[in-house]
Amino acid sequence: MAESDRVFAGSIPEFYDRHFVPLIFAPYAADLARRLQEAKAERVLETAAGTGVVTRAIAARLPSTARITATDLNEPMLSHARTTLADARITWKTADAQTLPFDDQSFDAVVCQFGVMFFPDKVKAYKEARRVLKPGGRFLFNVWDKISDNEFADVVTQALAEMFPSDPPLFMARTPHGHHDIARIRADLKTAGFSDVSTEAKDERSKAPSPHDVAVAYCEGSPLRNEIEARDKARLQEATSRAAAAIARRFGAGPVDGRIRAIIITALN
């Protein structure tokens, strides 16, 4: 993973929340919140909370007695999240999932939406999740499946590879869609001490009013922007336009609809 893959700063948090969240993250946030509600979790730790899409979904489903601690290592993302939700049940805290600042057996559940791919030491993060879970608690997280099963990401990546043929920006393939090997995930969880692990692939539809909305989400609302600007800062808008044109060729010029696929993992303590 490149160092720039973990940089969500500048205008990225705002673009991410405005464009990317409804495009691909919202349906999976609702899914995780439903699973936590069904598990009757009341003390919940969220790691890699980002701009708070899962936090908002959890808060809408869990009872008034619930307590949610939402954490992220990236302060600009968390600062934006704080502005989107005022709820006395939620504590926001900057924290590294690999070294959690919480006591052993503090939570009924630990939840992480599309964050584990960014952890440099995944086993260490899994061990920390297990440490802070109460006996019988659950670690619930999701990862994106391979990029070919996520149509918009695949098309945008191919379009930018044509724009920068000698040095293609591969953030989407390398990191968000680079950790989908279920056998590897199970092995890492076992190494961390989890023995009861289940996985489920889940398809959703990614919808946007136009190809341009999709292109803005990917090219300007994610660390893919860092890769584009590292190659030529003056060509960000050109990259967005090229991505939009590629989406339009594949899905049409009006409202667009593409497949997305994630894997949901539940590990019981």
Residue 183, pLDDT > 80, answer yes
Cα distance between residue 258 and residue 93, in whole Å: 35
- pLDDT at position 8, please? 53
- pLDDT at position 4, please? 45
pTM of the model: 0.93
Tokens of 89: 């049940």
Query: How many distinct structural domains can be found in the chain?
Result: 1
Residue of 124 and 78 predicted with greater confidence: 124
List the CATH number of the domain containing 198: 3.40.50.150
- pLDDT at position 123, please? 98
Which residue type sits at 98?
Answer: Q
Neighbour-count burial of 165, counting CB atoms closer than 10 A to its CB (0-12 exposed, 13-18 middle, 19+ buried): exposed
| Domain residue limits at 111 | 3-268
- pLDDT at position 9, please? 45
23 touches 206 (CB < 8 A): yes
Neighbour-count burial of 2, counting CB atoms closer than 10 A to its CB (0-12 exposed, 13-18 middle, 19+ buried): middle
Tokens of 90: 């939620």
- pLDDT at position 12, please? 65
- pLDDT at position 3, please? 53
Residue 107's Cα: distance from chain center in Å? 21
- The pLDDT tens digits for 91-112 are 999 999 999 999 999 999 999 9
Q: pLDDT-based confidence at 205, cuts 50/70/90?
A: very high
Which residue type sits at 172?
Answer: M
Cα distance between residue 49 and residue 131, in whole Å: 19
**What average pLDDT does range 161-181 have in this prediction?**
96
Q: pLDDT-based confidence at 80, cuts 50/70/90?
A: confident
Q: What is the 3-state secondary structure (H, E, C) of 86-151?
A: CCCCEEEEECCCCCCCCCCCCEEEEEEECCHHHCCCHHHHHHHHHHHEEEEEEEEEEEECCHHHCH
